[in-house]
Chain A
Amino acid sequence: MGEESVLALQRTLVDAALMADPGALERDPAGLAAAHGLAGGDQSAFLRFRLRLMVYRNMVRSDLIEPVETTCFVTQALMEGAGLWDECLTAFLAGRTMQSPFYRDLPAAFLGWLAATGWGQDRWPFLLQLVHCELLSGLVTHHPGGDPMEPSQAHPRLSDRLVLAAPTQLVTYGYQVHRVSREAPIPAPGTVHLIAYRDAGGVAQWMELTPATAALLLAAQRTGIGQAALDLGLSDLSEAIELLADFQARGAIQGFG
């Protein structure tokens, strides 16, 4: 027996675990093995261990789903309300986009799969933004950059450019996805600007920004604070400086220079 048979056996087991319909494994495990080119002895083994192979199917699926449900619990509530959560997860697993050796990357794989397939977005046009918002806290909390803080200009001057702390994320959503809950998982439409950052205690925090503040934070990274304020027509520069100093004190801004 050659090593190609080892690969065929491995493919059969993983297919049995991830395929959408468990029927082939439940009703005709020998046929499933035969469909993968396995010989009679292997087919018999699949038949003999049918129930225990179902245990593997359940274990694999449970392992892959658990971090998605832990992170995307509002999305789960949304889809459960429509009776579609299991269908969504089944399609996700069958899509086989789980390709990172890091278990913590599974929710991001779920978001990537949603984006690539468009699954559910006809019904919920805000779906990608909702899932992204649910991932945001983890992205900030676990961001590998930003520690220790680089020395930088402590107090902002008009000529300085702003440097965000590495974990800080500036995001704009078209729906109020930061205000949803398990009980009320459907966001109202409306543009929202958020800054998500890691505070001094290492905890992810977020604040809602006015459009002007969001624009200032973006532009001041490129052109410097004074020029950005001028371009945005901000009349009170001292107020802008005070605002940026506050963001720095919170840990959202690394420094100025």
Chain B
Amino acid sequence: MAPSLHLESFTGVGLGLRHPHFAAVARDNPGVPFWEIAPENVMGDGGRDHDQVCRILERDPVVTHGLSLSVGGFDPFDDDYLEQLAGFLAFTGSPWHSEHLCFSSVDGTITHELLPMPLTRASVRHTIRRVRELKDRLPVPFILENITYYAELGEKELAEPEFLGEILEGADVGWLLDINNVYVNSLNFGFEPKDWLLRVPLDRVVQMHIAGHERVGDLTLDSHGAPVIDPVIELMQWVLPRIGRPVPVLLERDNDIPCLATLLAERAAIQEAYDAVMAVPVRHG
């Protein structure tokens, strides 16, 4: 069972707060239920744009989503970074902090890419230990996100649902379920996403991500550079009742970012889909 993290102020469909929209959001307050921000894009920065985003973070509900902790890596966690992060979490009042179930650095070199963990028992043990350390060192609950991956790193001992489930249970952490990542992985590895979702501990879901993807050659890339397609929205609608709680869903867009009005319209459409399914009785199976 996941830690109880449901908060009334964090439900519905939020929006990733991105640089091109800082000024408009700070000025217009478009009434999005909550925002998500990457601390790395704010911490240690300054200037006009920084002031604008800080005004939003002070004014509106915000959750934080990190990019560079390298949760599954072997480099020691950066003390300075964690200290800054703790201050940032206090400043935003974020109810939890999420990061990716991946590694991104080796021997001090930071790749700024979300690289896949080996699907092995040793990898599970190592990641559980790292997540427990982060739980101890962060001032808010820590949750993990399942990533898109394009290749298995080494010989696989566990299927991804079991790998993910063992880490979530072993480290006793909440889950940021990225429904688009499940969908993209299903295309690239040829599985049925609903079957996958029936094999993972949905009671640990604290938050969801939804995003667009693109086909490049014979691979589907988690580009966050296109509108969310209907099958992904339908998968969100399928899983929400099975989670059984109105967990917040966050619309991500990181590339080919459209104007704020376009993103707000997409958010509203996903909110409508969210409301429609949350209004009906919870079903299982």
Show the binding face of A for B, using Cβ within 8 Å. 1-3, 5-7, 9-11, 13-14, 17-18, 33, 38-39, 41-42, 44-46, 48-49, 52-53, 55-56, 59-60, 63-64, 96, 98-104, 106, 141-147, 167, 198, 201-203
Verify if B121 is at the interface (C-beta below 8 Å from A): yes
Residues of chain A lying within 8 A (CB to CB) of residue B153: 9-10, 13, 45
Other A-B pairs, 5, CB within 8 Å; known A3-B126, A10-B115: A6-B122, A14-B106, A55-B151, A96-B108, A144-B46
A5 and B109: CB pair below 8 A? no
A10 pairs with B74, CB closer than 8 A: yes
Q: How many A-B residue pairs have CB under 8 A?
A: 139
Tell me if B's interface is mostly helix, strand, loop or mixed: loop
Interchain CB contact under 8 A, A41 and B150 = no
Known contacts A52-B150, A146-B46, A202-B47; decide if A101 and B68 are in contact (CB<8 Å). Answer: yes
Instruction: Report the nearest B residue to A138, measured CB to CB.
Output: B47
- Chain B, Cβ-Cβ closest to A18: B109
Instruction: Give the residue of A2, A14, A143 whose beta carbon is less than 8 angstroms from that of B109.
Output: A14
18 A-B interface contacts by CB (under 8 A): A5-B122, A6-B74, A10-B74, A14-B109, A39-B155, A41-B155, A42-B154, A45-B154, A49-B150, A56-B115, A63-B111, A63-B112, A63-B113, A98-B109, A101-B68, A103-B112, A104-B45, A144-B45
From A59, A102, A142, give the contact of B47 (CB < 8 A). A142
B150 close to A56 (CB less than 8 A) = yes
Does the CB pair B46–A145 fall under 8 Å? yes
Is the beta-carbon distance between A55 and B219 smaller than 8 angstroms? yes
| Given A7-B74, A45-B154: A59 and B113 interface contact (C-beta under 8 Å) | yes
Q: Is B31 an interface residue (CB 8 A)?
A: no
Assembled-state Cα–Cα distance A20/B183 (Å)? 34
Residues of chain A with a CB closer than 8 A to B118's CB: 5-6, 9-10
Inside 8 A of A203's CB, which chain B residues have their CB?
A: 48
The answer on a CB contact under 8 Å between B47 and A6 is no
The residues of A that contact B41 with a CB separation of less than 8 Å are 103
User: Interface readout for B134-166 with A: 1 if CB under 8 Å, 0 if not?
Assistant: 000000000000000011111111000000000
CB distance from B279 to the nearest CB of A (A): 40
Q: Which of B49, B78, B151 contacts A53 (CB 8 A)?
A: B151
Q: How far is the CB of B130 from chain A (nearest CB, A)?
A: 11
Q: Please indicate the chain A residues that have their CB under 8 angstroms from the CB of B231 in the complex.
A: none
B81 within 8 A of A: yes
Assembled-state Cα–Cα distance A147/B46 (Å): 8
The one of B103, B155, B156 in contact with A10, judged by C-beta atoms closer than 8 angstroms, is B103
Q: Could you tell me if B151 and A198 are in contact, using CB atoms closer than 8 angstroms?
A: no
B51: contacting residue among A14, A55, A59, A147, CB under 8 A: A147
Query: Which B residues from 47 to 91 make CB contacts under 8 A with A?
Result: 47-51, 67-69, 72-74, 78, 81
Report the minimal beta-carbon distance from A95 to chain B, rounded to whole angstroms.
10
* Cα–Cα distance between A217 and B7 once the two chains are bound (Å): 54
- Pick the residue among B69, B110, B125, B154 that contacts A3 (CB under 8 A): B125
Chain B residues in 8 Å Cβ range of A52:
150-151, 219
